[in-house]
Amino acid sequence: MKVIFLPTADAVLAVNKYVCEQGGNPHHCYDVGKVESAISTAFYPGTYPFAHGGIAKVAGALCFYLVKSHAFMDGNKRTGALVAITFLNQHGLDLKYPLNEKKGINALADAIERCAASKLDKDKLMEWFEAHKVSIE
């Protein structure tokens, strides 16, 4: 499989600006180097099958590193999720997971919240992405 979308720091900053605007919050990046580091770590060594084991796991690693980098004043979790899902979508994949609006349960949001709180490590988040990937083709 050829990788057709590698997020850039500028693209991640644009995603954060968007999610902050949608929430009515200011967009501010504390350190673009943290964003660049998160991207390069997720894609190490940079060619398929990646150190992380495939597209869905790379998306999970990308989400993890962006969330944990705390590069932004606001929207770190939403930015990590949206960038990871965009990466999946660009490769013909998406996530399918439980959503129960009555009980306020969103499995993706729950996984990312646990990641941010250091209750879900990188490997578990990568496995979560792998377990919930679906083809959109």
pLDDT at position 7:
87
pLDDT at position 6:
76
Question: Domains in the chain and their CATH numbers?
Answer: 9-135 (1.20.120.1870)
Q: Report how far apart, in Å, the C-alpha atoms of 8 and of each of 13, 19, 66 are.
A: 9, 17, 12
How far is 104 from 58, CA to CA, in rounded Å?
Answer: 28
pLDDT at position 99:
80
pLDDT, block means (10 residues), the chain with 137 residues: 74 96 95 95 67 83 96 97 95 88 81 96 95 91
pLDDT at position 101:
67
Angle of helix 76-90 versus helix 55-69 axis, rounded to 10? 160
How far is 80 from 101, CA to CA, in rounded Å?
Answer: 22
pLDDT at position 2:
56
Which has the closest alpha carbon to 42: 24, 32, 54?
A: 54
User: At 30, is the secondary structure helix, strand, or coil?
Assistant: coil
> Can you give the pTM of this predicted structure?
0.89
pLDDT at position 3:
56
Residue type at position 73: M
How far is 34 from 73, CA to CA, in rounded Å?
Answer: 13
